Amino acid sequence: MKKISLLVLIIISVAAIHSCQKEMSGEPGNTTTGSEVDVYVAGFELNSGGFRVAKYWKNGQAISLTDGTRDADANSIAVVGRDVYVAGFELNSGGFPVAKYWKNGQAIALTDGTRYYADANSIAVVGSDVYVAGVEVNGNIFVAKYWKNGQAIALTDGTRVAFAKSIVVVGSDVYVTGIEVNGLFYAAKYWKNGQAIALTDGTRDANAYSMAIVGSDVYLAGFERNGSDVVVAKYWKNGVAVNLADKAIATSIAVVGSDVYVAGSGWESNGSFAVAKYWKNGQAVSLTDGTKYTNANSIAVVGSDVYVAGFELNSGGFRVAKYWKNGQAISLTDGTNHSAASSIVVVKR
């Protein structure tokens, strides 16, 4: 089970840090987004006590969701009208993570905090219904599940390790993407109304992080190791894989008309640091120059504008939460403590 343990570390790392060639000048928060859209970004920032504070930023202005006395993180954000929903976790007084979401800053717990691991990775809101995908430990097995209005629906039976990473709801259909162990390896898959559809055969490690549904077409972004054990960023359209790059991971996908946008990170042949990037119809656009470690965790497209959220390591060795609009970097924190952006939503006014 050594390989599984290593991949779990990769998965948790991507979710938690679940990240510029030219940055905008000025202090964090001076984002000059214009008056036509509001940009919401969820993530975390360490406070002076060394605790992770779950928060989101609206047009660069930070709103804390937790008080900073215990570690917490914000993994996913959704905006419906004036309501802001954020999914993530917060440690309880016993040191166990509680999966939860916040509606306009008000916390709603999804798990009771008696198990040593739980997390909420993705949130979707349809009408008055709130759907959250995530994971909770049963014994010592990670169980993929989602919650509808706080009621848990298990996607796996608890006999094999599994994670739910992203949720999309279309009409009465609930789609959840993630992974489940098949032997010694993780297989990428998704569930439609609880029925599993495999994307990979489980003979090599793979993961599916993000999903988009357009009409009857199902798009998912992730990675799979090839026969040489190299990680390959890819997306799947209706189960058919499209390779994007070797030594790379695809973390988020958006589809606009006939255009497919995928965010992720990759290692350049001449560099030792991960480069934040996105692919439009398979063509890579680098967001950073490879001189510092970066991650791209989420993508949103509005009109001709492409927004990507993630982080970049600064010269002091701290991760800085930021997003890029059309390749232009906007820092959300001042870089004096670790921070990262996990999810971005752009709403027209």
Domain housing 200: 2-348
Q: In the 3-class helix/strand/coil scheme, how is 125-139 assigned residue by residue?
A: EECCEEEEEEEEEEC
Q: What is the pTM of this model?
A: 0.90
Count of CB atoms within 10 A of residue 155's CB? 23
CA distances from 241 to 115, 143, 150, 156, 260 (A): 36, 26, 34, 24, 13
Output the pLDDT for position 194: 98
**Shortest CA distance to 145 belongs to which of 115, 178, 170, 169?**
178
Single-letter amino acid code for the residue at 324: W
- The CATH number of the domain holding residue 241 is 2.130.10.10
Q: How far apart are CA 123 and CA 132, in angstroms?
A: 4
Output the pLDDT for position 202: 95
Burial class (CB in 10 A: 0-12, 13-18, 19+), 159: exposed
Instruction: Say if CB 278 and CB 288 are below 8 A apart.
Output: no
Q: Please list the ranges in the chain whose pLDDT falls under 70.
A: 1-35, 269-271
Output the pLDDT for position 33: 47
Q: Please name the residue that has the structure tokens 């927004």.
A: 307
Which run of H or E residues covers position 272? none
How many distinct structural domains can be found in the chain? 1
Output the pLDDT for position 269: 61
